[in-house]
């Protein structure tokens, strides 16, 4: 399939990396993601990636258990670095060059992130995995992904989830939920749909960043959605 996009930002859920085991990093799921991303890079698509850390630690959940919120969010940032290193290793094993850039100083674990360094990495045909969230507490990795998508001048942000798009309500709880093929930012606000937190959604809207929500857990879906197949939901 011919890709319709030249440069994208792919947001991956940390929780999806758990796979069937329900915790940590499932090697089968990790390798499946790596194979799909490698195929995309080999087709000439420049891929920037932001991964969540919810499979290891989530700052907001930690705060609910008594952790200081700032410390909890910092732990969550470190969790995203662990996931980023794991994905980098899996990509390189699949024959795809990858580079981990961190928003917080962690050399030699990762190189310091800057938009220019990320763009140079992408232009070189290397996958840029941007870890550490925004580098600040109180911001989600969805917000980090939206920010990085704008900074690296991506054509769209692709949000890979375990659901195949945006629905009128949670399809895992409501059998009557119906899926949107496309939806405007205004309608998302008016309906109160929670595809991402409000900060991330507003950042994308104000910068004209298109979002595509799709099911990343089905092998082959990444190539299909990049080729323009209507298998997810487009937010415009």
Identify whether the C-beta of residue 226 lies closer than 8 Å to the C-beta of residue 3.
yes
Give the CA count within 13 Å in the CB-facing half-sphere of 24: 5
Q: What is the pLDDT of residue 9?
A: 98
Q: What is the pLDDT of residue 215?
A: 96
- Can you give the residue range of the structural domain that contains 101? 7-235
Asked if residue 226 belongs to a domain, the reply is: yes
pTM for this prediction: 0.95
Asked if residue 40 belongs to a domain, the reply is: yes
Between strands 233-235 and 210-215, the pairing is antiparallel
Q: Which of 79, 88, 64, 67 is nearest to 24 (CA)?
A: 79
Q: Report the mean per-residue pLDDT for the chain.
A: 95
59 pLDDT band (50/70/90 cuts)? Answer: confident
Condensed to tens digits (0 to 9), the pLDDT of residues 76-122 reads 999 999 999 999 999 999 999 999 999 999 999 999 999 999 999 99
Percentage of the chain lying above the pLDDT 90 cut:
91
Asked if residue 103 belongs to a domain, the reply is: yes
Asked if residue 200 belongs to a domain, the reply is: yes
Asked if residue 2 belongs to a domain, the reply is: no
CATH number of the CATH domain containing 55: 3.40.1160.10
Sign, CA torsion 190/191/197/201: negative
125 pLDDT band (50/70/90 cuts)? Answer: very high
60 pLDDT band (50/70/90 cuts)? Answer: confident
List all residues 6 or more positions away from 173 whose beta carbon is below 8 Å from its beta carbon.
none
Asked if residue 1 belongs to a domain, the reply is: no
Identify whether the C-beta of residue 36 lies closer than 8 Å to the C-beta of residue 158.
no
pLDDT over threshold 70, residue 1 = no
Asked if residue 148 belongs to a domain, the reply is: yes
Q: Could you say which DSSP state residue 46 is in?
A: E
Condensed to tens digits (0 to 9), the pLDDT of residues 150-193 reads 999 999 999 999 999 999 998 889 999 999 999 999 999 999 99
Structural domain tally of the chain?
A: 1
């Amino acid at each position: 399939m011919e890709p319709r996009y030249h440069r994208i930002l792919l947001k991956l859920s940390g929780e999806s990396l758990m796979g069937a085991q329900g915790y940590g990093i499932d090697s089968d799921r990790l390798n499946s993601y790596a194979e799909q991303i490698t195929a995309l890079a080999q087709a000439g698509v420049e891929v920037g990636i932001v991964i969540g850390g919810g499979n290891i630690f989530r700052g907001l959940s930690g705060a609910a258990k008594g952790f200081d919120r700032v410390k909890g969010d910092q732990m969550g940032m470190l969790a995203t670095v662990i996931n980023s290193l794991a994905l980098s290793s899996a990509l390189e094993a699949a024959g795809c060059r990858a580079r981990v850039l961190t928003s917080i100083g962690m050399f030699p674990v990762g190189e310091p992130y800057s938009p220019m360094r990320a763009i140079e990495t992408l232009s070189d045909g290397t996958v840029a995995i941007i870890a550490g969230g925004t580098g600040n507490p109180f911001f989600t990795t969805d917000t980090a992904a939206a920010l990085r998508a704008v900074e690296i001048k991506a054509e769209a942000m692709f949000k890979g989830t375990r659901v195949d798009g945006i629905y009128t309500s949670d399809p895992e709880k409501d059998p009557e939920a119906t899926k949107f093929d496309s939806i405007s930012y205004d309608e998302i606000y008016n309906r109160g749909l929670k595809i991402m937190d409000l900060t991330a959604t507003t950042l994308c809207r104000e910068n004209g960043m298109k979002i595509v929500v799709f099911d990343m857990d089905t092998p082959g879906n990444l190539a299909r959605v990049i080729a323009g197949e209507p298998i997810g939901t487009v937010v415009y």
